[in-house]
A and B are shown apart, each in its own frame.
Chain A
Amino acid sequence: MAFAYFPHTEDDIRAMLERIGVSSLEDLYSDVPEDVIYRDQYDLPDAMSEHEVRKYFDDIAAQNRQMLCLCGLGAYDHYSPAVISHIISRSEFLTAYTPYQPEVSQGTLRYIFEYQSMIAELTGMDCTNASMYDGATAAAEAVMMAMASTKKKKRVLISETLLPQVMNVVRTYARYNGIELGFVPSHEGVTSYGALLTELAAGDVAGVLVPGINRYGIIEDLTGFADAVHAQKGLLIVYSDPSSLAVIKTPREWGADIACGDAQTLGVPMCFGGPYIGFLACMKDHVRKLPGRIVGATHDVDGKRAYVLTLQAREQHIRREKATSNICSNQSLMALYVTVYMSLMGPHGLRQVNELSYGGAHYLHDRLMDTGLFKEAFDKPFLKEFTLKSLVPVKALQEALAAAGIFGAVEVEDGLVNFCVTEKVSKEDIDKVINVVKEVKA
């Protein structure tokens, strides 16, 4: 029986072998030593029909629990409008490669240019790439970029209020790349400005990475940070949730040189952690050190407006061992998610998403406090996620919620639990949560 993905008939194979001048498919491997050819049976299942595959995954899907999501911490349950999945399924986008031949890739190039423009609007920065895998790796690239931009410095400072996974990934990259990391401790739930100044005093710092909204959900006040970092010729890197930037102060307004973060919040489903898209944006002065693919506007020989991958001399395939990043992805399809999402939402829609999330999160926060089972951990301004100190055992709290189909109260640190509310959560949902919580025994 013919297999659907192989279009060759037996006659085709014979005719092709004849043209090549060999007698069998096996002869095409005559240059491969016999002792590395694998002749055993592959330890794989028998081939399935599409129907069987569907059933197989339906069964596996049923072994997961769909829960009401009240967790943030780097992945957010925002709504992804139906238009997005329709657009991203178009074969012309889905089955294209990186746009190396611009004459037949204007679709991809155009939406990446739009993506760059929209991220620039949200962050206030001048230039963006579309090449980062996720927020954590974008932060690691930002740190390496700061090192490359400030040639003679050896150290990068990162705030201990960053999301744990962002800190972990930055630590891993720094360790192998040879970057010395310093850690700025938190003070009352936010990055300690005093500790930062102490760390900066040595004058050897290439960059400082701090969150706009931190691991506790607190919106950090970064007043004075940029001046302090710039005074010793380092770069300020701000890690942000781009959805929140429709309302909260932008990296540009804080005086950042580089902005990074995860754009999952802009229409990308949670999908157990990926695929997402990180963003990495910078001010013009640093664009030559920005890794990844960048699209620029130009024109063709007939004067038509057209778009092309530009500033390619920065990239790994040209610099090889002199490259400061090995990125060759163009996280293109995920950039399309984000671009279509922002087009649909517009400035008012994105503000409204924040408005609804803020309102719901504060309602949940206040009702939880009313139960008497929680204490404020820090009592600082937050947007859609917050941290409380649980007065009941965290495990009991989580289990009671889980039993009711609710995922929340993830423990950030000893006794401190995270809650997050997006525009998808209703008042009825929250009232149900409160009823469950009230039953947890101290």
Chain B
Amino acid sequence: MAKTVDGLYYSESHEWVKVEGNVALVGITDFAQHSMGDLSYVDMPEVDDQLEAGEEFGAVESVKAASDLYSPVSGTVIEINEELEDSPELLNQDAYANWIMKVDMSNPAELESLMDASAYDAMCQGN
């Protein structure tokens, strides 16, 4: 069964958000990495990209699948996790220890529409 971590926010498209002040750390959930299988590539946004909540910001690829990533929050990309460029497998090893991008949120109220761990768990089990 896929792991969740308490205290994070979760989106229906399987991204998680960890909030540090006004900055959102965004990654993919354990459920997402598990259903993709061994990841071979993470397509990341560029620093300074402006994102709307729900907008595509990148993709994860395995050998024979690709899945787009959608930003759970609006804001400006202030940092990307460059370690993932050479080591996409880090997301397989621990999806929650490896964020993909940091976003300076323009509308933190959007967090309210995301799920908590138990709601997300329930959604995944419903699948």
Contacts and interface: CB of A to CB of B under 8 A. Distances in A.
A and B in direct contact, judged by CB atoms within 8 A: yes
A314 B66 CA distance: 8
B84 to A, nearest CB: 14
B65 to A, nearest CB: 6
B82 to A, nearest CB: 14
Given A313-B61, A313-B66, A318-B65, 10 more contacts: A288-B41, A312-B64, A313-B40, A313-B63, A313-B64, A313-B65, A314-B61, A314-B66, A318-B64, A318-B66
Contacts, number: 20
B102 to A, nearest CB: 20
Contacts of A288: 41, 43
Interface in A253-300: 288
A314 B65 CA distance: 9
Contacts of A318: 64-66
For B40, B65, B66, which residue has the most chain A Cβ atoms within 10 angstroms? B66
B66 A319 contact: yes
A314 B63 CA distance: 10
Given A288-B41, A288-B43, A312 B63 contact: yes
Interface residues of B, number: 10
20 contacts: A288-B41, A288-B43, A311-B41, A312-B63, A312-B64, A313-B40, A313-B41, A313-B61, A313-B62, A313-B63, A313-B64, A313-B65, A313-B66, A314-B61, A314-B66, A318-B64, A318-B65, A318-B66, A319-B66, A322-B68
Interface of A: 288, 311-314, 318-319, 322
Interface in B10-47: 40-41, 43
A100 to B, nearest CB: 11
Contacts of B40: 313
The 7 closest A-B pairs by CB, nearest first: A313-B61, A313-B66, A318-B66, A312-B64, A319-B66, A318-B65, A313-B65
A312 B40 CA distance: 11
